[in-house]
A = this chain, B = another copy of it.
Amino acid sequence: MSKPEFHPVILAGGRGTRFWPLSRKKRAKQLLALDGKHTMMQQTVARLLPLAPAKNFMVITNEHLHAEIVRQVPKLDKKKILAEPAARNTAPAIGLAAFLLEGTHPNAVIGLFPSDHVIADAKHYRVTLLKGIAIAAAGENIVVLGIQPNRPETGYGYIEVEPGSNSGEAFSVRRFTEKPDAERAAAFLRAGNYFWNSGMFLWSAKTLANALREHLPNTAVILEKIAASFGTKKFAATFKKLYPKCENISVDYAVLEPRSAKGIGKSNLYCLPADFGWNDLGSWTALHEHHTAKTRPMHDNVIASDATFTLNAQGNYIHAPGKFVAAVGVNDLVVVETGDALLITTRAHAQDVGKIVKYLDEKKLHKLV
């Protein structure tokens, strides 16, 4: 058997309000270099390029971010960097990739990847993906990468697996759960057979196409029409006209949950444990933790600046590139300065940043969002 062909589909829509004022509608989280020199979008592509030629990549984004993405990942085929005419969540996005490939490469494995996550160990990430690709290629299997939880996180969906079912390293999936409350999250952590849903999935083009025909029949018809026009002069108009008619639904809701209801043995759903230093960097607080763990800075101060003076200051995240920053007698703050805005909050309050963006939206302060 030849090595299965691999086609990454990168999801790069999303607004990234949680990194305001750095993230904006036209400069979402995945287009920022929050973790080093390259943006998270660029890092996502660079991590996957050893597994697939550039022409295999497809990117789904929105109109606000399209031009910047084309600029950031020049190696990729521009024709396959698509701006959704309307946000329709993950099921139509990945479905379009399935129908584009099904006719010519039915056995190609499609991988769905968020573009705004950090992976510490790219090598181990690729080793894991190759295992998942093999499982996905071996039949009508659907593979989801699951992250071993280390805290009772309430911000993620969880995957419950069948204990002891991981002969091939992947567990059989019992069910997907929505974001739990604190009590249930703690119970999941204690139980030991729950993983965080990473949002990374693997399946063959024909498995995915068939799953969409089964679970989202109307949307599947629309996507087949769009896929048929790809490469023709009519594509842009067809995409713009038909895509908004797709259901606005995640692949989790549309396919994985109903599929898991069929029961183990029939669902063909597998969870492959992923242990490559995954972090979704969901807030300034998470970014602070990520940097302190990585660089172990003095007094846990993470400061982006021209130069710095600190005195009785610890646990601060300060972003003011090009400025001299002086922090005196302050702890656990998050201060982020841009050309037009200044955020001053604490690590404990950083999740409230979304409220600022909501306020700016309401006040129609468009330049600031």
Interface residues of A (CB under 8 A from B): 20-21, 305-307, 309, 311-313, 316, 318, 320, 322-330, 333, 335, 337, 340-346, 348-349, 352-353, 355-356, 359-360, 365, 368
In Å, the complex CA distance between A231 and B19 comes to 64
| Beta-carbon nearest neighbor of A324 in chain B | B341
| Beta-carbon nearest neighbor of A330 in chain B | B344
Q: How far is the CB of A55 from chain B (nearest CB, A)?
A: 43
Which chain B residues lie closer than 8 Å to A323 at the CB level?
337, 340-342
In Å, the complex CA distance between A337 and B341 comes to 11
Q: Is the CB of B333 within 8 A of A344?
A: yes
Nearest 9 Cβ contacts at the A-B interface: A329-B349, A328-B345, A324-B341, A326-B356, A320-B342, A327-B344, A323-B342, A325-B342, A328-B352
Which chain B residues lie closer than 8 Å to A309 at the CB level?
356, 359-360
Supplied contacts A324-B342, A330-B346, A335-B335, 10 more A-B pairs, CB within 8 Å: A305-B342, A306-B340, A324-B360, A325-B342, A326-B343, A327-B345, A328-B344, A328-B352, A329-B345, A330-B345
Q: Give the contacting residue for A311; candidates B326, B337, B352, B368; CB below 8 A.
A: B352
Which chain B residues lie closer than 8 Å to A352 at the CB level?
311, 328-329
In Å, the complex CA distance between A333 and B335 comes to 12
Which chain B residues lie closer than 8 Å to A313 at the CB level?
344
In Å, the complex CA distance between A149 and B330 comes to 31
Which chain B residues lie closer than 8 Å to A365 at the CB level?
307, 324
| Beta-carbon nearest neighbor of A307 in chain B | B365
Q: Is the CB of B328 within 8 A of A335?
A: no
A-B contacts, 26 listed (Cβ < 8 Å): A305-B342, A309-B359, A311-B355, A320-B342, A323-B340, A323-B342, A324-B368, A325-B342, A325-B344, A326-B341, A326-B344, A326-B345, A326-B353, A326-B356, A328-B343, A328-B345, A328-B346, A328-B352, A328-B353, A328-B355, A329-B345, A330-B333, A330-B344, A330-B346, A335-B335, A337-B337
Q: How far is the CB of A301 from chain B (nearest CB, A)?
A: 11
Q: How far is the CB of A207 from chain B (nearest CB, A)?
A: 46
Q: Is the CB of B324 within 8 A of A344?
A: no
Q: Give the contacting residue for A326; candidates B21, B329, B333; CB below 8 A.
A: B21
Which of A335, A343, A344, A346 is the most central at the interface, judged by chain B CB atoms within 10 Å of its CB? A344
In Å, the complex CA distance between A267 and B142 comes to 99
In Å, the complex CA distance between A324 and B328 comes to 23
In Å, the complex CA distance between A359 and B311 comes to 11
In Å, the complex CA distance between A325 and B342 comes to 5
Q: How far is the CB of A259 from chain B (nearest CB, A)?
A: 41
In Å, the complex CA distance between A349 and B326 comes to 12
Q: Is the CB of B326 within 8 A of A346?
A: no
Which chain B residues lie closer than 8 Å to A342 at the CB level?
305, 318, 320, 323-326, 335, 337
Which chain B residues lie closer than 8 Å to A368 at the CB level?
324
Which chain B residues lie closer than 8 Å to A318 at the CB level?
342, 344
| Beta-carbon nearest neighbor of A20 in chain B | B326
Q: How far is the CB of A53 from chain B (nearest CB, A)?
A: 44
Q: Give the contacting residue for A328; candidates B312, B328, B356; CB below 8 A.
A: B356
